[in-house]
A and B are shown apart, each in its own frame.
Chain A
Amino acid sequence: MAAETKQIKTPSKLRFTIIFLVMAVLYVFSWRGVEADIGSLIEGWPYIRDLITGMWPPNWKYFERILDPMLETLRIAIIATTFGAILSIPFTLLASRNVFPNTWVTNSARSFLNFVRTIPDLLLAGIFVALLGIGPVAGVAAMTVFTFGIITKLAYESVETIDPGPLESMTAVGANKWQFIAFAVVPQALPAFVAYVLYAFEICVRAAAILGLVGAGGIGIMLSETLETFQYQKMATIVLFTLVIVIVIDSISSRIREKLL
Chain B
Amino acid sequence: MIEFKKVRKVYPNGTVGLDNINLTIHPGEFVIIVGLSGAGKSTLLRSINRLHEISEGEILIDGKSITAAKGAGLRRMRRDIGMIFQNFNLVKRVSVLRNVLSGRVGYHSTLRTLLGLWPKKDVEIALEALSRVNIREKAYARADELSGGQQQRVSIARALAQEAKIILADEPVASLDPLTTRQVMDDLKRINQELGITTIVNLHFLDLAREYGTRIIGLRAGKLVFDGPVEEATDDVFSEIYGRKIKKDELLGDVEEA
Contacts and interface: CB of A to CB of B under 8 A. Distances in A.
Interface of A: 1-2, 5, 8-9
9 contacts: A1-B123, A1-B124, A1-B127, A2-B120, A2-B123, A5-B123, A8-B139, A8-B140, A9-B140
Given A1-B123, A2-B123, A8-B140, 6 more contacts: A1-B124, A1-B127, A2-B120, A5-B123, A8-B139, A9-B140
By DSSP majority rule, is chain A's interface helix, strand, loop, or mixed? helix
Contacts of B139: 8
B77 to A, nearest CB: 31
A8 B124 CA distance: 15
Interface in B121-174: 123-124, 127, 139-140
A8 B127 CA distance: 14
Contacts of A2: 120, 123
Interface of B: 120, 123-124, 127, 139-140
Tell me which of A1, A5, A8 has the highest count of chain B C-beta atoms within 10 A of its own C-beta: A5
Nearest to A5: B123
A188 to B, nearest CB: 35
Contacts of B124: 1
A8 B137 CA distance: 12
A178 B123 CA distance: 68
Which 8 interchain pairs have the tightest Cβ spacing? Answer: A8-B140, A1-B124, A5-B123, A2-B120, A1-B127, A1-B123, A2-B123, A9-B140
A2 B140 CA distance: 14
A106 B222 CA distance: 63
A5 B127 CA distance: 10
A5 B140 CA distance: 9
B26 to A, nearest CB: 36
A133 B3 CA distance: 85
A1 B123 CA distance: 9
Contacts of A1: 123-124, 127
Nearest to A8: B140
Contacts of B123: 1-2, 5
Nearest to B139: A8
Nearest to B118: A5
Tell me which of B124, B127, B139, B140 has the highest count of chain A C-beta atoms within 10 A of its own C-beta: B140
A175 to B, nearest CB: 46
Nearest to B127: A1
Nearest to B124: A1
A1 B140 CA distance: 13
A1 B139 CA distance: 12
A1 B130 CA distance: 14
Nearest to B123: A5
A2 B139 CA distance: 14
